[in-house]
Amino acid sequence: MNTSKIQRASFITLVVLVSIAFFALVLPFYGAILWAVILAILFNPLQGRLTTPFGERRGLAAGASTLICVFIVVIPVSLLLASLTREASGLVTRLSNREFDPAAVLAQGRDMLPGFVLDALAALNLAEFSEIQARLTSLIGQVSQMIASRALSIGQNTAQLLISLGVMIYLLFFLFRDGPQLVATLRTSSPLNRSHTDHLIRQFSSVVSATVKGNVIIAVLQGTIGGIAFWLLGIQAALLWGALMAVLSLLPAVGAFLVWGPTAATLLIAGSYIKGGILIVVGVFVIGMIDNLLRPPLVGAATRMPDWLVLISTLGGISAIGMNGFVVGPLVAALFLAVWSLFSLSRTQPTGETWLVPEPRNAMPAEKAR
């Protein structure tokens, strides 16, 4: 008996150590693996529909699904990154040549202030704002330089991007082809009972799908509208700022405002009241309403998480691991809620009684999902 326990403990230790070594080995490609899994989940219905026309030959269906993903997702994103690199390069050049002078804009705004405002600033010892101007100028320059440099660095890391892209596409094919077997193996190997495992698999799939689809739809709409507004108002690097608004829109409530808000303020300070007013109207009543109207049904309702938890988990995920955190953060939060709900439900059941978690309506059992 003693020997049996030692052997079991040794085997479990070996499993844990080998698993840790494996995860450390693939950690450099965690982004490629993550997005391969995300695309496999999002396009899983397509793979299921293609299996029948191909005569249940899952390899051919997986190849077709992978090609469709490449044309729908990979190629457009690559073209967008190339355009952003060009715009970022132009923005860096303009900043280096001092074509945009924040100090002059601030000085012009001060000269346009009415006399009573200047008197009030003098009473508060703020009339001489040369130090404030210097700090704001430095801050604006640093932020603009950082944004442009980050976008430019994406284009410079071409080799790394190509390797990660190749890994993602290669893995995506096998996830399409062998997905059902992988899910079945996971269910069999899980130390949890079948009910718990199925519930967590459903939660994982639904949160990934809702988070990515909802956030991408909102990001594309906000970035497109913001970029078009910037372009029509004659603001330089409109594509770059639109893409930045799309990225920042991943942050609920405050995202795109971090771009159009300061830009509108700069236009007003510079005396472009009509352009600044138009941008404020578009930002508040179009870009802002998209977030308020679409995020709750697309993200919050589907993930069954309140808006405040979506915001905190998104910010925490991005802070911890970068842009991939906008998926990982809400996913971890949703699994946290799911695990604790399972734990709470298990404690309400009589000891030794087997209990099942009810499936959501219209949900397919994990073993039947293709």
pLDDT at 151: 54
pLDDT at 361: 44
Phi, psi (deg, nearest 5) at residue 351: -60, 130
Q: Distance between CA 211 and CA 222 in Å, rounded?
A: 16
Q: Distance between CA 368 and CA 201 in Å, rounded?
A: 12
List % helix, strand, coil for the chain (3-state, nearest 5): 80, 0, 20
pLDDT at 111: 59
pLDDT at 154: 54
Identity of residue 25: L
Tokens of 29: 């490609």
pLDDT at 369: 41
Identity of residue 111: D
Identity of residue 368: K
Q: Distance between CA 133 and CA 151 in Å, rounded?
A: 27
pLDDT at 365: 42
pTM, two decimal places: 0.69
pLDDT at 139: 56
Averaged pLDDT in 10-residue chunks for the chain of 370 residues: 77 87 88 89 86 79 90 83 70 60 57 58 55 55 58 58 86 90 84 81 82 82 90 83 81 76 79 85 86 72 70 82 81 84 72 47 42
Query: Three-state DSSP class for 121?
Result: helix
pLDDT at 67: 93
Q: Distance between CA 63 and CA 40 in Å, rounded?
A: 12
Exposed, middle or buried by CB within 10 Å (0-12, 13-18, 19+), for 89?
middle
Domain ranges of the chain: 24-189, 191-370
pLDDT at 360: 47
